[in-house]
Amino acid sequence: MTLPMHRTYQETRLSKPEILVVAKLWPRYMEALQGAFVVHDRTHLNDAAQFASIAPRIRGIAASGESKVDAALLAQLPALEMISVFGVGYDGVDVAAARARGVPVTNTPDVLTEEVADLGIALMLSIARRIPQADKFVREGRWPQGPFPLSRKVSGARLGIVGLGRIGQAIADRAQAFGMSIAYTTRTRRDDVSYAYHANAEALARAVDFLMVITPGGAGTRGLINAQVLAALGAKGYLINVARGSVVDQPALVHAITTGVIAGAALDVFAEEPHVPAELREHDNVVLTPHMASGTWETRGAMADLAFANLQAHFAGKPLLTPVP
């Protein structure tokens, strides 16, 4: 009778696919990854010698929406089979280089649509009605000295949406409940909506009171909201950005805020996160949040589940759930 062979811990460990985590990930997601894979957490950043030894065995990458996964990193991973992004945006991933290698990239769309749309509307209300400023006014004991200044009405105003994808549509749906008129710009005009279409962001900005930016990041949209767009938005217009910091020309925005080119801005994303220019932090006509649009327990859990499911599907030989187009 042949006794069953007992695998050593090292043999069991190495029987699991090895993956490289390239960013700090949500703890619950990391726990799931560590249970299913051999996880190397940011080894490429922290230990060059160790990374050189494990790189030939890395079969998957677990990334966040802000992760940098460029061609240089991909070139060091000859066994790489897939990249799973925890987030809807993937502009830090060199998708073209991955495709050239036959390496699919997945993301987590849909599960964060509602939360991002909610925050977009919340930011618009916050900057127009000056809710954070009013809170500060009360907390500082200034109310007994006189009333808080009047603010801008949102209901019935004109909203322009830069990027009418899933999230842009969810924002439009919410805005319609406020009786707002909706206009938009996208690369391709949509035939399934009745909103006014404008061929570019500058034309759209000229026609609206609030300009909501929710277009993907990347080289194609870098600096899309520039000085000309902000000038078109005008001294009574407000900018809201829940897309990517790279989409807005940040120096131009700082100039527009500090010189009164626009009335104000509400921003969840920035060019060099987590660093925010002092000029934006110091101005009273700006509302700032720390890239938290998808930051609810429910959504982060759904994002983790989907990112993990994509990795599991690949290594089980099943179709990927949400490959990027």
Q: pTM for the full model? A: 0.88
In the residue annotation, 244 being an active-site residue is answered as yes
- Sheet with 105-106: strands ordered across: 38-41, 18-21, 58-64, 82-86, 105-106
Q: Residues 40, 59, 244, 300: which is the catalytic one?
A: 244
pLDDT at 7: 43
β 264-267/196-197 pair status? unpaired
What is the token pair recorded at 113? 């649509």
Instruction: For the domain covering 9-111+298-315, report its CATH number.
Output: 3.40.50.720
> What pLDDT, on a 0 to 100 scale, did the predictor assign at position 33?
97
Region of residue 286 (phi > 0: left; psi between -120 and 50: alpha; otherwise: beta): beta
Amino acid (one-letter) located at 53? S
Q: How far is CA 309 from the centre of its chain?
A: 20
Strand-pair partners of 239: 211, 265
Give the pLDDT of residue 14: 54
One-character DSSP codes across 9-58: HHHHHHHSPEEEE-S---HHHHHHHHHHSEEEESHHHH-HHHHHHHGGGE
- CA angle, corner 22, sides to 84 and 78, nearest 5? 75
CA-based Rg of the chain, rounded to a whole angstrom? 23
pLDDT for 37: 97
Is 273 in the active site? yes
Name the residue with tokens 């962001």: 201
Catalytic residue among 291, 298, 300, 314: 291
Cα 144 to Cα 126: distance, rounded to the nearest angstrom: 23
Provide the 3-class DSSP secondary structure of residue 139.
helix
Q: pLDDT by residue for the chain (325 residues), tens digit each? A: 333 444 444 544 458 999 999 999 999 999 999 999 999 999 999 999 999 999 999 999 999 988 999 999 999 999 999 999 999 989 899 999 999 999 999 999 999 999 999 999 999 999 999 999 999 999 999 999 999 999 999 999 999 999 999 999 999 999 999 999 999 999 999 999 999 999 999 999 999 999 999 999 988 999 999 999 999 999 999 999 999 999 999 999 999 999 999 999 999 999 999 999 999 999 999 999 999 999 999 999 999 999 999 999 999 999 999 999 8
- pLDDT of 15: 82
Active site residue 42: no
pLDDT in the model for residue 85: 98
Q: Of 272, 273, 282, 298, which is the active-site residue?
A: 273
Rounded Cα–Cα distance for residues 29 and 59 (Å):
18
Amino acid code (one letter) for 108: T
CA torsion through residues 208, 210, 216, 218, sign: positive
Contact 187, 163 (CB under 8 A): no
Task: Just give the CATH number of 113-288.
Answer: 3.40.50.720
Delimit the domains of the chain by residue range: 9-111+298-315, 113-288
